[in-house]
Structure 1
Amino acid sequence: MRTSNSTSPLGRTAIVFDLDGTLVDSEPNYFEAGRELLARYGVTHTWQEHERTIGVSTAETIQMWQDEYGITDPLEELLDEKNATYLRLARRSTQAYPEMVKFVRRLHGDGVPMIVASGSSLAAIHAILEGTGLDAYLTKAVSADEVPSGKPEPDVFLEAARRLGVDPADCVVMEDAAPGAVAAHKAGMRCIAIPYVAAAADDAEFATADLLFKGGQREFTAQAAYDWLSAH
């Protein structure tokens, strides 16, 4: 599977991007979609409760809600409703992080293989990439919906490597959430972590990250990440 990439200054390195909270600030939209869904069942959903599910796939999040709140409506119906609400919000207002955009553009210019691997649905992934213009640089994507298990299991990252045609050991995962950092480690991939929740930076799950921006997006710079990749 291992292939060389002589056109890239970074050699064999391939980059696997998480989407939500890493490339774009989509968590407010996910929170609102969840809040609207749970309100139908008389459940008040707070941001603090939402933070518990950052990095968890939408399907697994809804399963948690079914267990916690006794919601008996079919999972697929709930998933479709939440995704539809999220897509409506995402198309209207999703912002890409400026330093991440710089990073993606530089990697693209260097010919570095890149792919998005996310817990979001493929429809959500493509809508956000198109809406932010990142689809000009990130043309490959895999959703956790397409693999047996979502993060913290490594399935979505291993599938990303397979689709790129590269060895997992040559991949560097860009992640904002602890389940993603754990998944990257399980996949045998290096990880650059940019915690979405700053208070989570000291969590044990992030200890496996090879490069940790403890201040999250406030600390992350395209140059610092690129310099690290060049040295490693």
Structure 2
Amino acid sequence: MYEEYSHFKAIIFDMDGTLVDSGKLHENAWRQTLNHYGIPIDNALMRSLAGVPTKETVDILAKHFNVELSVSSDVVNDYKEAIVRETIHQFVKPTPLAEYAEQCKGLKPMAVGTGAYTTEAKMVLETCGLTHLIDHTVGADQVVNPKPAPDTFLRCAKLMGVEPKDCIVFEDAQAGIQAAKDAGMFVVDVHEKLNIVNDYFLE
């Protein structure tokens, strides 16, 4: 299945919905958070924002629904992250892509480029037993412009010492697919090509 990708020198994985099945983890945390702060829940809108960091998502939702928040997006983010930490062991597991990562360990560098923040991303990877496979983890807090900007993936390439054109990116979200394309990298839509579906705010 993966032989056609073997010529790439480095691999970059998105995390949520790609390397890790974490849709229910984040949906549960978002539902509790949005209900707590009085922000309406729109499944289709939430799915469209997959891959966008929490603080930016909060700002978009508040503007979209014309909600005046009494706290900053940082406070909302901290509230959601606390729920994620409390419930992580209930919800996350590796996707079939983890097997491919195992096969490539030691053969080429691998990085995770995610819209999650680095601390949370490392916690998720550790919970799934994937930490030993990943050479670099780049969260949204490490770049000025997170996905859909290309900065996250460009930083991954720089840390791995590989040119962007020599990187393959595995992604599930439109924001990430756009980011990879704008970074000049080859991107695989894991939903379309590998039938990996992120169970996240499904209708």
Is 1:170 the counterpart of 2:162? The answer is no
The within-5 A match list for 1:1-150 is 10=6, 13-67=9-63, 68=65, 69-97=67-95, 99-109=96-106, 111-150=107-146
1:193 counterpart (184, 189, 203): 189
- Bigger relative CO (Cα 8 Å, ≥ 6 apart): 2
Q: Distance in 2 between matches of 1:55 and 1:191?
A: 15
- Read off the aligned partner of 2:16 and give its amino acid letter: D
2:195 counterpart (190, 201, 216): 216
Q: Distance in 2 between matches of 1:121 and 1:43?
A: 22
Q: Normalising to structure 1: TM-score of the pair?
A: 0.76
Query: Alignment length, in residue pairs?
Result: 191
* 2:105 aligned counterpart, secondary structure: helix
Percent identity over the alignment is 31
Listed one character per residue, the Cα deviations across residues 16-40 of structure 1 (whole Å, up to 9, x for unaligned) are: 1000000111121111111111112
- Read off the aligned partner of 1:175 and give its amino acid letter: E
Contact 2:39 2:61 in 1 (8 A): no
Listed one character per residue, the Cα deviations across residues 46-86 of structure 1 (whole Å, up to 9, x for unaligned) are: 54342122121212111112323222411211111111112
Unaligned runs of 5+ in 2: 198-203
Moved over 3 A (4+): 9-12, 46-49
Unaligned runs of 5+ in 1: 1-8, 196-211, 219-232
- Read off the aligned partner of 2:196 and give its amino acid letter: Q
Q: Which residue of 2 aligns with 1:182?
A: 178
Instruction: State the 1:100 CA deviation.
Output: 1.0
Instruction: State the 1:101 CA deviation.
Output: 1.7
Q: Distance in 1 between matches of 2:20 and 2:8?
A: 26
Contact 2:39 2:62 in 1 (8 A): no
* 2:196 aligned counterpart, secondary structure: helix
Listed one character per residue, the Cα deviations across residues 103-144 of structure 1 (whole Å, up to 9, x for unaligned) are: 1101115x1110000000111111111111111211310011
Query: Aligned-residue CA RMSD in angstroms?
Result: 1.9
- Read off the aligned partner of 1:81 and give its amino acid letter: Y
Q: Distance in 2 between matches of 1:25 and 1:96?
A: 6
* 2:147 aligned counterpart, secondary structure: coil
Q: Distance in 2 between matches of 1:12 and 1:52?
A: 29
Q: Distance in 2 between matches of 1:32 and 1:49?
A: 16
Q: Distance in 2 between matches of 1:11 and 1:38?
A: 44
Q: Distance in 1 between matches of 2:86 and 2:48?
A: 23
Q: Normalising to structure 2: TM-score of the pair?
A: 0.86
Contact 2:51 2:116 in 1 (8 A): no
Q: Distance in 1 between matches of 2:10 and 2:80?
A: 32
